Amino acid sequence: MKNRTLLMIPGPIEFEPAVLAAMGAPTSSHVAVDFIETFGQALERLRSVFLCEDGQPFVLAGSGTLAMDAVGANLVETGDRVLVVNTGYFGDRYAALLSRYGAQVTQISAPIGARPSLDEIDDALKKAAYKLVTVTHVDTSTGVITDVQGIANLAAHYGALSVVDGVCSIAGEALHMSDWGIDVALTASQKAIGVPPGLALFVVSPKAMKVFAERKTPVANYYADWNSWLPVMRAYEARQPSYFATPAVNLIEALNVSLRQILDEGMPARFERHRLLSAACKAGAAALGLKQIALKPEWAANTMTALRYPEGISGADFLPRVARAGAYLAGGLHPAIKNEYFRIGHMGAAKIGDVLTTIGAVEVALAQCDYRFELGAGVAAAQAVVL
C-alpha cells in the first residue's frame, strides 16, 4: 500500500529517483579522484544552468541563507550603501543581514502582493550612490516575481552591483545572468535545482569578483570568506584536490546528477515547463474562486502559487485535509498575513500530474470544509491549460 503524500510546498520539493540514489550511495573521500571529477563537473554545469559561462561558481555546505550571508560578508564593507528591493519576508531578511556587516541599507518596498516599479527604483538610485542593489527574484512568502532584468540594468547604469536572491527561482524561472548583466545570483539546492537541502549555490560575475578583490578590510565571516573558498573551487574545477572545510560529498554527487538532468532538458524547455505548470495550477485555483496574493497576473511566479483561504476557512482546518487527500501544502510565511493564505510549490521535478493531483486534493479539502463550488471545476480548468 502506498504510504506517501506528494510534497507540493515551495521547497523542499519532490526529487528525481536518480538524485536520491546518488544521495544514498556510499560516501567517498572528498579528495578521491572520482569525487574530484564529480565536483569539477558540477561547478562547470552550474555556469550553464545560471547562464553565466564567465562567472565564478561556489558550492558551500549550508542553506540559501548562507549564500545570502556569503555575498554580504564578501561584498559589503562598513559604510557601504545598499538598496534592497523588498517584496516580502526575504527582502526583510536581506536588509537585516546586510546591516550586520555595516551596510547603510535603504529599502524600497510595495504593498503585500505588489512589487516596486522600475521608476521607483530609478528614483532611489538617483538620490545616492549605492554599492549593491539586492532583489529577491521570487519571494517565497508572497509568490511575487520581480523584474530582475530591469533592476539589473538600472543597477549597472548607476554603477552598482546587482545581487539576485534566486532561491525560489533559479532553474525554474527564466534568468539569464550574463545577458541581463546580473553580478551575483544565488540559490539553494532544495528548490528548482532539485537536490535535498544542504547546499548554498551562487555564481559571481567577473565584475563582482574584481570588487571583492579590491576590498580594503578583511572579510568578517570566517566560514564564508571567499579568500578561503576560491582556491578550493578553482582546484576542483582543474581536477585537483583541495581543502578548506569538508564538502557535503553525497549532496554534491546528487547535485551533479540533477544539473545533468536540468541541462539535458534544456534551459528554454525547462522555463517553459515551469510556466505551463504554473498556468495550470493558477487556472485550477481561479476556477475554484481562490485569489492569489500576487495582485496582478504578471507579478505571479511560475515556481509557486500563493492563495488566500476562502472566507471562513482556516489553515488548521484546510491543510490537514489536503494532506490526507494526497498533497502536502505550506501555510503562510509573511508575518502580516500568515494565517490568511497557503502556498503550493510546482518546480523542479514536478509534472502536470502532480499539479492535477494537488488541485484535486484542494477540491476535496474545500468540500470537506463546506466550501461551495462546482466539483471538478479546478481539475478541469488545470487540464484545459495543458490540453
Q: Concatenated DSSP letters for 19-50?
A: HHHHHTSPPPPTTSHHHHHHHHHHHHHHHHHH
Residues 191, 128 share a domain? yes
Give the integer Cα–Cα distance in Å for 380 and 283. 9
Residues 156, 48 share a domain? yes
pLDDT of residue 4: 84
Residues 217, 80 share a domain? yes
Q: Residues in the chain with pLDDT < 50? A: 1
Residues 222, 112 share a domain? yes
Residues 84, 174 share a domain? yes
199 in Cβ contact with 59 (< 8 Å): yes
pTM: 0.97
- Residue 215 belongs to some domain of the structure: yes
For residue 350, the enclosing domain spans: 6-11+267-386
Residues 285, 250 share a domain? no
Residues 225, 273 share a domain? no
Domain containing residue 120: CATH number: 3.40.640.10
Q: How many domains does the chain have?
A: 2
Residues 327, 213 share a domain? no
3-state class (DSSP) for residue 266? coil
Q: What is the dihedral of CA 182, 272, 68, 200, to 10 degrees?
A: -120
| 213, 233, 265 - which closes a domain | 265
Give the integer Cα–Cα distance in Å for 370 and 218. 60
Domain containing residue 350: CATH number: 3.90.1150.10
pLDDT of residue 1: 39
Residues 30, 155 share a domain? yes
Residues 98, 225 share a domain? yes
Q: What pLDDT, in 10s, does the model give residues 124-167?
A: 999 999 999 999 999 999 999 999 999 999 999 999 999 999 99
